Structure 1
């Protein structure tokens, strides 16, 4: 029996500073997207190790996991490959040590509009809603986060 459908496990971090959450603006397959920082789980890696690695690779910062926030509880095909089912896991994270994150102030403020481009920005609490994100799972997380923002930020 041939199985051609696979799972794509993604792990994301919710980093809150003051009244804002860090988001990533990216270009993939000629499409501009906004999502939470993080990425794909590599074989042999645990989910928290994956997230720590992703933050180090993308932002050059060290993080600690505070707690699990959400794991997708509905079927979601991959936007770029419908034969893959996306399983996304979200954690609340905090930074370790002094942090200097280079951020932009406007969405998609890339130096060059090329596939693979990525910039970060702080999304203010009042801007935090499902419309600010591209993918259905991130939209769900944004709604949940918006409802609980002040409880979890402290």
Structure 2
């Protein structure tokens, strides 16, 4: 049976950088914006708050809708699911306190699931910085806004 999966992501800027998440699940490595799966009963901003609390031990101060998927994307993890992603510009308490790495995938590769955060300079942020097509679209939009 074909289904939807809803993902909610944070665009966090700090000192001219954007926060990205490097992750590994099984043998799949990918880079994306921080965030994750929407759960039943949550508002989308509540999803961002929960995800950032769980993953980075940080509290959200403010969210502003940025983009919602407007094209078809099949899940990279389940061919029977269509992904709908919602992105929010997100302000958090003390972004400098988010534990982050300097280089990509700098974690124990023997783990079944691993994740790290990494700050990427806005001037170095390109569509190649991320793995998934919706994230690439968001970076295109961000880049256009920065040039304006």
CA distance 1:112–1:17, change in 2 (3 Å): same
Structure 2: 5+ residue runs without aligned partners? none
| Aligned-partner SS, 2:90 | strand
Q: Which residue of 2 aligns with 1:16?
A: 13
Moved runs in structure 1, 4+ residues, more than 2 A?
96-99, 111-115
Structure 2: distance between partners of 1:105 and 1:147: 26
- The one-character-per-residue Cα deviations of 1:19-70 (angstroms, maximum 9, x if unpaired) are 1000000002311100000000011111010110000000000012331100
Asked if 1 retains the 8 angstrom alpha-carbon contact of 2:45 and 2:63, the reply is no
- Counterpart mapping for 1:12-91 below 5 A: 12-91=9-88
Structure 2 residue 128 is the aligned partner of structure 1 residue 128: no
| Aligned-partner SS, 1:25 | strand
Instruction: Give the TM-score, by structure 1 length.
Output: 0.90
Instruction: Give the TM-score, by structure 2 length.
Output: 0.94
Q: Which residue of 2 aligns with 1:94?
A: 91
Structure 2: distance between partners of 1:36 and 1:113: 23
Structure 1: 5+ residue runs without aligned partners? none
Instruction: Say how many residue pairs are matched.
Output: 148
Asked if 2 retains the 8 angstrom alpha-carbon contact of 1:61 and 1:99, the reply is no
Pairwise CA RMSD:
1.6
